[in-house]
Amino acid sequence: MSPRVTFPNKLLPYLLLAPQLAITIVFFYWPASQALRQSLLREDPFGLQSTFVGLANFRRVLNDPNYINAVQVTVIFSIATAFLAMALALLLAVMADKIIRGRGIYRTLLIWPYAVAPAIAGMLWLFMFNPAMGTFAYMLRSAGFGWDPLLNGPQAMTLVIAAAAWKQISYNFLFFVAGLQAIPKTLIEAAAIDGAGENKRFWTIVFPLLAPTTFFLLVINTTYAFFDTFGIIHAVTGGGPGKATETLVYKVYNDGFVNLILGDSAAQSVILMIIVIALTAIQFRYVEKKVHYG
C-alpha cells in the first residue's frame, strides 16, 4: 500500500476544498435546484405569483410537437457535429504526425481556432456563407448550387454543423496528437515488419490504441454539441429557418428568455440535464468496456 497523506489539522482539507465546492454550489447546484423548483411551478404572465402544478409542465412539454422536433434536431446535430469534429481532427492529427519538418508550426496553426469564441466562429461562418454577401455562398451559387440557408432548413443545419464542428476540431486535434505520440514507434515498426500496410496499421494498431483518447473525446464532444454550441446557433441561424436548427438548448433559451414561459423552459432544462447524465452514464457503462487502457 502506498502511504496516505494525512493532514495534521482536521479543518485544513475542507478549507482547501472550499473554493471548488463554493464554485460548484453557486454555479451548478444552486441554478440546478432553481430549475428543478421552477419546473414544478406555473407563473402568472406578470411574474407576480406562482402556483404549484406538479408534473404538468413536463406533460405539456413532452406532448409538444415542437419539442419532439427539437429532440430530432439535437440528435442529428449532435451526432453529425461530434462525428465530423472527431473524424476531421483525427485525420489532421495523423497527417501532422507524419510531417517531420515544421511540425510545430502546423500544430500551432491548427490549435488556434479553439481560441475563437463560439459566437465569433458563428459570425465568421455566417459571413462566409451569407447568401447576399458571403464569398463561399457566391462560389456555390456560381457553381449552379441553390444555396440559401436562410430559407432552406437542411442547408441551415449543414451550416451550423460545419461551424460547430470547425470550432471543436482544434481541441480534438490536440488530444489526438498527444494520443498518437503516446503510441510507441516500435509497435508501428513491428506491424510494418508483420506485413501490415499503412491503412491496415492504422485500423488494427493505431486506432485501437487511441481508444482511450477517442472515448474521452466522445464524451466531451457530445456535451459540447448539446450545450456549448448555443452561441454558434444563435449567431448563425437563431434556430431557424422555421425551427429547423432549434436544438434542445436553444429551445430552453427561446421559451424561457424570449417567450418567458418559465415553467416550460425549466422543465425542459431538467429533461436536458437528465438526458446528458443518462448519455454520459451509458457511454461509461457500455462504450468504455470496449476501450483498452495500455
> Is residue 92 near another protein by the rule CB under 8 A?
no
190 binds another protein (CB under 8 A): yes
d(CA 278, CA 276): 5
Q: How many residues bind another protein (CB under 8 A)?
A: 20
d(CA 213, CA 244): 33
Nearer to another protein, 17 or 189 (CB): 189
Closest to another protein by CB, 49 vs 186, is: 186
Where does this chain touch another protein (CB under 8 A) — which range of 83-91, 203-211, 224-232, 246-254? 203-211
Least separation in angstroms between residue 89's CB and another protein is 22
> Can you tell me which of 14, 26, 189, 227 binds another protein, judged by CB under 8 A?
189
CA–CA dist 148, 138 (Å, integer): 11
3-state class (DSSP) for residue 229? coil
Stretch that binds another protein, among 69-77, 110-118, 200-208, 216-224 (CB under 8 A): 200-208
Least separation in angstroms between residue 11's CB and another protein is 42
- Give the one residue of 104, 154, 184, 242 binding another protein; rule: CB under 8 A: 184
Q: Binding residue for another protein (CB under 8 A) from 61, 209, 261, 272?
A: 209
Question: Hey, what's the cell of 294?
Answer: 495500455
Please tell me whether residue 160 binds another protein under the rule CB under 8 A.
no
Measured from the CB of residue 180, what is the shortest distance to another protein in angstroms?
15
Q: Are 156 and 237 in contact (CB under 8 A)?
A: yes
Decide if residue 208 touches another protein (CB under 8 A). Answer: yes
CA-angle at 20, arms to 221 and 178, nearest 5°: 40
- What lies within 8 Å, CB to CB, of 175 at 6+ separation is 213, 216, 217
Q: Is 120 in the site for another protein (CB under 8 A)?
A: no
**Taking the alpha carbons of 150, 153, 158, 162 in that order, is the dihedral positive or negative?**
positive
Site membership for another protein, residue 174 (CB under 8 A) = no
Residues 129, 132, 138, 142: is their CA dihedral positive or negative? positive
* Residue 192 touching another protein (CB under 8 A): yes
Pick between residue 45 and residue 195 the one whose CB is nearest to another protein: 195
- How far apart are alpha carbons 61 and 42 in whole angstroms? 13
Work out whether 195 is an interface residue with another protein (CB under 8 A): yes
In whole angstroms, what separates CA 240 from the centre of its chain?
A: 20
Of residues 136 and 216, the one with the C-beta less far from another protein: 216
Nearer to another protein, 98 or 200 (CB): 200
Enumerate residues 275-294 that contact another protein by CB under 8 A: 292, 294
Using CB under 8 A as the binding rule, whether residue 200 contacts another protein is answered as yes
Give CA–CA dist 46/43, Å, rounded.
8
- Alpha-carbon separation of residue 175 from 168, 250, 264 (angstroms): 11, 28, 38
Phi/psi for 50 (5° steps) reads -130, 150
Query: What three-state secondary structure class fits 70?
Result: helix
Residues lying near another protein in the complex (CB under 8 A) are found at 184, 186-187, 189-197, 200, 204-205, 208-209, 211, 292, 294
